[in-house]
Every structure is written in structure tokens, then in C-alpha cells.
Amino acid sequence: MQIPKDALLARIFIGEDHRFDGRPLYEAIVLQARESGLAGATVLRGPMGFGHSSRLRTTKILQLSEDLPLVIEIVDSAEKIEAFLPVLDAMMGSGLITLEKVQVLRYGQTG
């Protein structure tokens, strides 16, 4: 699989306790991205953050939160990312999705 040099990055911000169809939302998104033939997805866990509610979530021991911030990053062609947006919309009750134009320098191995 090749990704065009000029691609699109979808960055999805959700909470660790967000769910879809009985499973963690981040897991459902990654599995659906794979099933949709997207180039790849990565889930990043944040040690601290807040969202639209302004409720602070942190790993600090005195304020330990079970709903830490997660970021899912998916890079692929603009067409594939844009086609995946309605899928995300149907899966997400809340959260934030941003899109950025990116330049792919390397994807996978050659030789």
C-alpha cells in the first residue's frame, strides 16, 4: 500500500472511558480504520488533559482519573480520510476531530 506524498492526518481526541458497541471507542475506531483499508492508526495516551467540560483528567496520584485523554492519529490520502469521517461521526458521541495536511516522507520498507 502506498500513501501519496501529500496526505491528510486525522487526529481524534477522546476519553479513555468512551465506548462504542460495548468496547472501548479507541479500539473500535482502530479496528474500523483497518477494516476500511486505511494505511494505519496509532493510539496515544495522555498523562493530563481536559476537554469541552473543562474537567481535568490526570495520572497524578492525588487526582487519579480513570478517563485519561487519548489521541488517535490516522494518516492516508485525503480521499480515504474524508470517506472515513462519516464512520467516525456515527461512532463518536463526543470528542474532537482535527484534520491537517501532511507530507509523507516514508511509509513502510522498500527492498
Q: Which pTM value belongs to this model?
A: 0.86
The predicted pLDDT at position 96 comes to 95
3 phi and psi angles, rounded to 5 deg: -110, 135
Q: What residue ranges define each of the domains in the chain, with the CATH number in brackets?
A: 6-103 (3.30.70.120)
In which region does residue 59 sit, left (phi positive, over 0), alpha (psi from -120 to 50) or beta (all else)?
Answer: alpha
Taking the chain (111 residues) in runs of 10, the rounded mean pLDDT of each run is 88 95 97 97 88 72 70 97 98 95 85 56
In angstroms, the CA 40 to CA 108 distance is 11
